[in-house]
C-alpha cells in the first residue's frame, strides 16, 4: 500500500542512530497464500491459535525483507487487528534471524495500560506464537530495565524517551544489544518532531512503525518510514509512504469480526441571519449557505465559532437529539450482551468550555442518561476515575475533548456525536475508530457504529469514503470463492481518494450486511490460557513485590532485635544491607533483591545481623 500526502517540502536526511542509517529500498511483493506461520523463523504457533490474514502477510514479508537486508518498515493495521501481537511476533522473527536480540516498544503514554502493560496477556501472546517466555518491563523512574540489562523486552513511552534521564537510560540499555524498535502510532512522529528527535538519539538495528492512519494533516514526513518522493505533472513534490503490508477498512470487513459497520449521518440545519443594514431576517439552510459561499468551509467554521453557534441549545439539539434517539433505540432493542453490557455514546467537543456546556445540555435535556466529561481542566485522578467508570459501563455518555484516543478501545461505544472542528482525514478516522471495535458479545446486527455530525464540518467526503470501503469489504466477504488474501489494487492510492457527495436534511450513509450463512474467512481463536509457573513476566511488578517483602522483613528483624534489648531500628538494618551488597535497595537489581531477602530471613532466624 502506498499512502499519498499533499505537496510537501521534503527535508534532507536527519540525524539517525549512530549505529546505522535508515534503509529505504522497495518492499517486496510476496504472495502469502502458500506461507504458514510455522514456516517462518522463530514462530511455532499453538494448536488453538491462528494468525489473522494481515498479520501473517506482514510477518512473511518481514522475513523476506530481513533476508534481503532491509530493516526499516511500516505496517498499517486498523484498530483491533492485534498490533501488540504483531510486534511480539516480529521480534520473534527478527531474533531468530539474528537481526535483533532485544525489543523496545515505544507508545504514547495513554496507550500503555491499554495495550502493553498486562503481563498475563503478554504471556498468552508469547505462548500463542510459540516464542519462549520472555520477561519484560516498563521503562519508568524505577529504572528496572537499567538495573537488569538482561531483560529482552522494554516498553517505553515517548514522553519518557523525551526526558533527559529517560533518554540517557534508554541509550545505555540499547547500546548493550541489537534492538528492534517498534514505534506504535507512528503518525504522531513527524520527521522534525520532539518525539522523533528523542527516538533518533537512540541506537537501533531495525525499526517497525505501526499505525492505522499513516498520514499527517500538516503534510510532514514520518520518522524512519520508507518513502518515495514523486514529482507530479504540476511540478510539485509528493511524499508516498511504502507500507510493508496494510490491513485497510476494506480488508478488515472482508475478514469479519474485527470492526463494526458504520452508519454516518450528516445533518443539515437552518440558520436565521439578520441583514445588518435593514434588519431583515433571512432563514437559509446550511446547504444553501454553502452553495452561496463555495465549497471552502474553513471560514464558516471560524464564523460560527466566533458567534458561539455550537454552544446554542438549538444547534446541540439538532445534532444530539438524533444521536440520543439512536442510542435509546439500540438499547431498547438490545436484549443484553453475554456480559450484560449495553451501548454507549461518545461526544467530541471543541474545548473544555464547550464540553462543559454540552454536558450541562445533556443533563438538562436527557437527564435519564448517566453522563460525565473529561478534559485537561479535570484533575487527573478524577479524570481517570470517570474514564474507568465509562469503561466499565457505569456511564452512558462521555463528553470529552480529544482525551479518548488511540489505545482507548471501549467496544461498547456505538454512537459518536462529533461536535468539534477537526476535519483532517487521519484525525477524523482515529476519532471514529474509537467506536468501531467489534464486540463479540453482541450479534452481527448490533455491531454498527452510528456517527452524527453537522454538514458545516466538511466531513461528508471522508464519511462517504469510509462507508464505501466497508461496503466493499462486506461484498468481498459475501462473494463465493473470495480469497482471504488481500486483493490486488489497480491504484495504490485509491483507498485514500475521496469524492464529493450531496447533502440532504439528514444524509445517512448506510450499509446493509448480506447474510450468506457463512462465518468470516478466518477465525482468530483466543482460548483460555493457564500460565505455567507463578512468576509474572513483568519484572517491574516482581521488583516492587521484592522491595515490599524486603521492607517488611527489615521491620521484623528490627523488632526482633529490639525485643532482645538491642538499640536497632529499621534504618540500621537497611544500612547494614547497603554495606553488605554495596547498593541501596532502590538501586538493586532483581538478583540483588533476592539475595537481600534471603539475607534478611537469615538475620530473622538467627536474631542478629549476620
Residue 105 pLDDT:
95
Largest Cα–Cα separation, the chain: 99
Helices and strands, counts by H and E, the chain = 18, 19
Residue 414 pLDDT:
95
Same fold, 2-6+51-247 and 254-268+310-509: yes
Residue 71 pLDDT:
93
Confidence bin at 74 (pLDDT 50/70/90): very high
Confidence bin at 456 (pLDDT 50/70/90): low
pLDDT tens digits, one per residue of 459-477: 778 888 888 888 888 888 8
Average pLDDT estimate for 373-380:
89
Residue 540 pLDDT:
82
Residue 326 pLDDT:
93
pLDDT tens digits, one per residue of 99-111: 999 999 999 887 7
Domain ranges of the chain: 2-6+51-247, 254-268+310-509, 539-606
Cα separation, 130 vs 133, in Å, equals 9
Is the pLDDT confidence value at 578 over 70?
Answer: yes
Domain 254-268+310-509 sits in which CATH superfamily?
P-loop containing nucleotide triphosphate hydrolases (3.40.50.300)
Confidence bin at 604 (pLDDT 50/70/90): confident
Cα separation, 203 vs 354, in Å, equals 44
DSSP assignment of 173-209, as one string? HHTTS-EEEEEETGGG-BTTSHHHHHHHTS--SEEEE
Higher-pLDDT residue of 316 and 302 is 316
Question: Is residue 202 a contact partner of residue 18, using CB atoms and an 8 Å limit?
Answer: no
Confidence bin at 125 (pLDDT 50/70/90): very high
> From the centroid of its chain, how far is CA 160?
17
Is the pLDDT confidence value at 327 over 90?
Answer: yes
Residue 568 pLDDT:
86
Is the pLDDT confidence value at 349 over 70?
Answer: yes
For 118, 144, 197, 199, 492, the CA distances from 163, given in Å and listed in that order, are: 24, 17, 11, 11, 39
User: Which of 197-211, 367-381, 537-551 is the least confident region?
Assistant: 537-551
Cβ neighbours of residue 66 closer than 8 Å, sequence gap 6 or more: 93, 94, 97, 99, 206
Among candidate residues 135, 208, 192, 202, the one with its CA nearest the CA of residue 163: 202
Handedness of CA 67, 71, 72, 73 (dihedral sign): positive
CA angle at 460 for the pair 464 and 406, rounded to the nearest 5° = 80
Residue 156 pLDDT:
94
Q: What are phi and psi of 453, to 5 degrees?
A: -150, 165
Cβ burial of 138 (10 Å; 0-12, 13-18, 19+) is buried
- Measured distance between the N- and C-terminal CA atoms of the chain, rounded to whole angstroms: 66
Residue given cell 511483493 in the structure block: 29
Cα separation, 195 vs 113, in Å, equals 20
Cα separation, 562 vs 550, in Å, equals 18
Residue 29 pLDDT:
38
Residue 293 pLDDT:
46
Residue 362 pLDDT:
94
Helix (H, G, I), strand (E, B) or coil at 335: coil
Helix (H, G, I), strand (E, B) or coil at 450: strand
pLDDT tens digits, one per residue of 525-553: 333 333 444 356 778 888 888 888 888 89
DSSP assignment of 106-126, as one string? EE-GGGIIIII--HHHHHHHH
Average pLDDT estimate for 365-381:
91
Confidence bin at 426 (pLDDT 50/70/90): confident
Which of 4-18, 421-435, 484-498 shows the highest mean pLDDT?
421-435
Share of the chain above pLDDT 70, in %: 74
Mean pLDDT of the chain: 78
Q: What is the dotted CATH code of the domain comprising 2-6+51-247?
A: 3.40.50.10810
pLDDT tens digits, one per residue of 81-90: 999 999 999 9
Confidence bin at 43 (pLDDT 50/70/90): very high
Is the pLDDT confidence value at 98 over 50?
Answer: yes
> From the centroid of its chain, how far is CA 92?
22
Is the pLDDT confidence value at 170 over 90?
Answer: yes
Residue 405 pLDDT:
60
Is the pLDDT confidence value at 268 over 90?
Answer: no
Is the pLDDT confidence value at 386 over 70?
Answer: yes
Question: Is residue 27 a contact partner of residue 228, using CB atoms and an 8 Å limit?
Answer: no
Among candidate residues 182, 255, 257, the one with its CA nearest the CA of residue 223: 182
Is the pLDDT confidence value at 120 over 50?
Answer: yes
Confidence bin at 275 (pLDDT 50/70/90): low
Residue 128 pLDDT:
93
Residues 274-294 as b/e (b if ≥16 CB within 10 A, e otherwise) read: eeeeeeeeeeebbbebbeeee
Is the pLDDT confidence value at 504 over 50?
Answer: no
Which of 64-73, 209-218, 495-504 shows the highest mean pLDDT?
64-73
Residue 271 pLDDT:
55
Amino acid at each position: 500500500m502506498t499512502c499519498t500526502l499533499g505537496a510537501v517540502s521534503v527535508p534532507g536526511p536527519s540525524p539517525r542512530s549512530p549505529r546505522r542509517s535508515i534503509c529505504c529500498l522497495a518492499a517486496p511483493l510476496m504472495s502469502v497464500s502458500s506461507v504458514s506461520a510455522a514456516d517462518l523463523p522463530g514462530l511455532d504457533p499453538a494448536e488453538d491459535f491462528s494468525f489473522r490474514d494481515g498479520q501473517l502477510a506482514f510477518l512473511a514479508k518481514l522475513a523476506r525483507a530481513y533476508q534481503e537486508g532491509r530493516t526499516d518498515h511500516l505496517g498499517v493495521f486498523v484498530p483491533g487487528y492485534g498490533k501488540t501481537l504483531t510486534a511480539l511476533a516480529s521480534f520473534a522473527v527478527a531474533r531468530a534471524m539474528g537481526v535483533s536480540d532485544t525489543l523496545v516498544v515505544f507508545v504514547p503514554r495513554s496507550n500503555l495500560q491499554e495495550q502493553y502493560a498486562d503481563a498475563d496477556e503478554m504471556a498468552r501472546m508469547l505462548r500463542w506464537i510459540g516464542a519462549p517466555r520472555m520477561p519484560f518491563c516498563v521503562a519508568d523512574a524505577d529504572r528496572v530495565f537499567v538495573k537488569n540489562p538482561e531483560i529482552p523486552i522494554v516498553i517505553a513511552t515517548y514522553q519518557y524517551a523525551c526526558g533527559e534521564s529517560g533518554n540517557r537510560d534508554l541509550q545505555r540499555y540499547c547500546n548493550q544489544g541489537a534492538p528492534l524498535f517498534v514505534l506504535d502510532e507512528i503518525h504522531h512522529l513527524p520527521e522534525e518532531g520532539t518525539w522523533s528527535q528523542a527516538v533518533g538519539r537512540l541506537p537501533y538495528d531495525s525499526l517497525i512503525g505501526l499505525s492505522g492512519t499513516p498520514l499527517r494533516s500538516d503534510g510532514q514526513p514520518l520518522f524512519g518510514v520508507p518513502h518515495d518522493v514523486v514529482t507530479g505533472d504540476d511540478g510539485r513534490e509528493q511524499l508516498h509512504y511504502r507500507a510493508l503490508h496494510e490491513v485497510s477498512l476494506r480488508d478488515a470487513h472482508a475478514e469479519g469480526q474485527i470492526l463494526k459497520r458504520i452508519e454516518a449521518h450528516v445533518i443539515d440545519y437552518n440558520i436565521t441571519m439578520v441583514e445588518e443594514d435593514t434588519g431583515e431576517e433571512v432563514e437559509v439552510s446550511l446547504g444553501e449557505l454553502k452553495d452561496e459561499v463555495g465549497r471552502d468551509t474553513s471560514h464558516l467554521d471560524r464564523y460560527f465559532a466566533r458567534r458561539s453557534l455550537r454552544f446554542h441549545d438549538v444547534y446541540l439539539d439538532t445534532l444530539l437529539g438524533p444521536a440520543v434517539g439512536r442510542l435509546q433505540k439500540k438499547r431498547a432493542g438490545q436484549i443484553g450482551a453475554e456480559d450484560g453490557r449495553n451501548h454507549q455514546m461518545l461526544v467530541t467537543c471543541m474545548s473544555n468550555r464547550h464540553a462543559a456546556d454540552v454536558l450541562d445540555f445533556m443533563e438538562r435535556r436527557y437527564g435519564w442518561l448517566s453522563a460525565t466529561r473529561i478534559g485537561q481542566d479535570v484533575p487527573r485522578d478524577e479524570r481517570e476515575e470517570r474514564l474507568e467508570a465509562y469503561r466499565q459501563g457505569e456511564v452512558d455518555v462521555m463528553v470529552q475533548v480529544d482525551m479518548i484516543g488511540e489505545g482507548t478501545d471501549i467496544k461498547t461505544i456505538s454512537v459518536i456525536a462529533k461536535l468539534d472542528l477537526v476535519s483532517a482525514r487521519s484525525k477524523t478516522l482515529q476519532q471514529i475508530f474509537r467506536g468501531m471495535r467489534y464486540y463479540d458479545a453482541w450479534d452481527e446486527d448490533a455491531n454498527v457504529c452510528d456517527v452524527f455530525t453537522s454538514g458545516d464540518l466538511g466531513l461528508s467526503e471522508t464519511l462517504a469514503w469510509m462507508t464505501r470501503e466497508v461496503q466493499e469489504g462486506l461484498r468481498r466477504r459475501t462473494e463465493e470463492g473470495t480469497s482471504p488474501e488481500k486483493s490486488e489494487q489497480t491504484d495504490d492510492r485509491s483507498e485514500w481518494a475521496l469524492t464529493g457527495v450531496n447533502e440532504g436534511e439528514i444524509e445517512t450513509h448506510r450499509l446493509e450486511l448480506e447474510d450468506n450463512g457463512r462465518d468470516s474467512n478466518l477465525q482468530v481463536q483466543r482460548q483460555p490460557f493457564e500460565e505455567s509457573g507463578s512468576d509474572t513476566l513483568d519484572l517491574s511488578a516482581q521488583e516492587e513485590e521484592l522491595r515490599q517483602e524486603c521492607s517488611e522483613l527489615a521491620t521484623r528483624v528490627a523488632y526482633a532485635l529490639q525485643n532482645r534489648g538491642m538499640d536497632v531500628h529499621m534504618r540500621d538494618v537497611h544500612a547494614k544491607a547497603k554495606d553488605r551488597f554495596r547498593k541501596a535497595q532502590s538501586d538493586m537489581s532483581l538478583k540483588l533483591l533476592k539475595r537481600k531477602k534471603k539475607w534478611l530471613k537469615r538475620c530473622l532466624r538467627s536474631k542478629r545481623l549476620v
